[in-house]
Amino acid sequence: MGPRFALTYAKKYLPKIAWDFFAAGADDCSTRDENILAYKRIRFRPRMLRDVSVMDIRTKLLGTEISFPAGIAPTGFHQLAWPDGEKSTARGMLLTYSTCTLEEISAAAPDSLRWFQLYIHRNRAVSQQLVQRAEALGFQGLVLTADLPYTGKRRDDVRNGFRLPPHMKLKNLEGAFEGDDRSEYGLPPNSLDPSVTWNDIYWLRSLTHLPIIIKGILTKEDAELAVRHGVQGIIVSNHGGRQLDGGPATIDALVEVVEAVQGRVEVYLDGGIRKGSDILKALALGAKCVFIGRPALWGLAYKQGEEGLQEVLRILQDEFRLSMALAGKHFAGWLKLVIQRFLYASHLKTEV
């Protein structure tokens, strides 16, 4: 079993409205699909007769060691895939729009590395309370999603008239809004704040001591602004191709962002990761870690929730370790500095 098998299983057994929600991209889905296709244009130049008898695939995120450079990306409504929802995916980022509370996630994974992903609402008090709750519960980072002033047009959701099932609630936002209209992915229409700017980073910094990671950066200009405004990390992301259709694949945007920040902040990536060799390509081009979204959900739908998710992660980890060895490297921490020199990309050729 691997991510592809889990995908096939999830597509077959999930209700159509749930599958379409998870699988959907914006408009023609060209960016969603390009996220995957872009990896196929990257080729390794492996080196031989290197001692790879002992492999070290550990890395650190903002000083905290993790066993493998992959985590779970923030994706919404995990209970659509499995009844335990986000309690089964507590290794990684908890979404504001979770169907489990911050407290439930903390109890389910007290020793894991947990970041809280935030959308800023027009009612700033709602966002402020969430940030302060997350810090009090021991979350180690705050991830601000920057690419969603408005929700992208996801045609399958429009066709299906997507609504959360009546028994499913956005637990972290219960009681936060007046009225009964929850037609926009469990929220009242127009509850997100489209006036958010770079200056709001300073507002967030005034609320918390947590490191701030900004998610949704695709250009060198925004990468420079992120560094200038004091963030500690950048996630190169296009929201899984669910926002602006026609933007770059994240693996293509990664090179530009890494070159712009020059090691001043850590850079991560999500989007299109389907194999362990994809993780190796992302790290070779400068990412510190990757985050997986849809494959984690497929894993949840397969084999009793967390068990299926752990199997997907285990296979990705085994594939990553093997790809590293076959490329001639034994230490993940050196990938940005060394493997990159042995890699051809569609737009990049670096020399030894």
> Which residues does the annotation mark as catalytic?
239
Tell me whether residue 117 is annotated as binding: yes
Tell me whether residue 330 is annotated as binding: no
Tell me whether residue 295 is annotated as binding: no
Q: How far apart are CA 204 and CA 134, in angstroms?
A: 13
Residue 62 CA from chain centroid, whole number: 16
3-class secondary structure per residue, the chain: CCHHHHHHHHHHHCCHHHHHHHHCCCCCCHHHHHHHHHHHCCEECCCCCCCCCCCECCEEECCEEECCCEEECCCCCHHHCCCCHHHHCCCEEEECCCCCCHHHHHHHCCCCCEEEEECCECCHHHHHHHHHHHHHCCCCEEEEECCCCCCCCCHHHHHHCCCCCCCCCCHHHCCCCCCCCCCECCECCCCECCCCCCCHHHHHHHHCCCCEEEEEECCHHHHHHHHHCCCCEEEECCHHHCCCCCCCCHHHHHHHHHHHHCCCCEEEEECCCCCHHHHHHHHHCCCCEEEECHHHHHHHHCCCCHHHHHHHHHHHHHHHHHHHHHHCCCEHHHCCCCHHHHEEECCEECCC
Q: How far apart are CA 71 and CA 300, in angstroms?
A: 15
Q: How far apart are CA 161 and CA 17, in angstroms?
A: 9
Tell me whether residue 242 is annotated as binding: yes
Tell me whether residue 271 is annotated as binding: yes
Q: Write the CA distances from 153 to 21, 156, 245, 296, 343, integer angstroms.
A: 12, 9, 9, 23, 36
Tell me whether residue 237 is annotated as binding: yes
Tell me whether residue 119 is annotated as binding: yes
Tell me whether residue 74 is annotated as binding: yes
Tell me whether residue 318 is annotated as binding: no
Tell me whether residue 272 is annotated as binding: yes
Tell me whether residue 341 is annotated as binding: no
- Tell me the two tokens of residue 86: 């986000």
Tell me whether residue 124 is annotated as binding: no
Specify binding-site residues for glyoxylate: 119, 154, 239, 242
Binding residues for FMN: 74-76, 117, 145, 215, 237, 270-274, 293-294
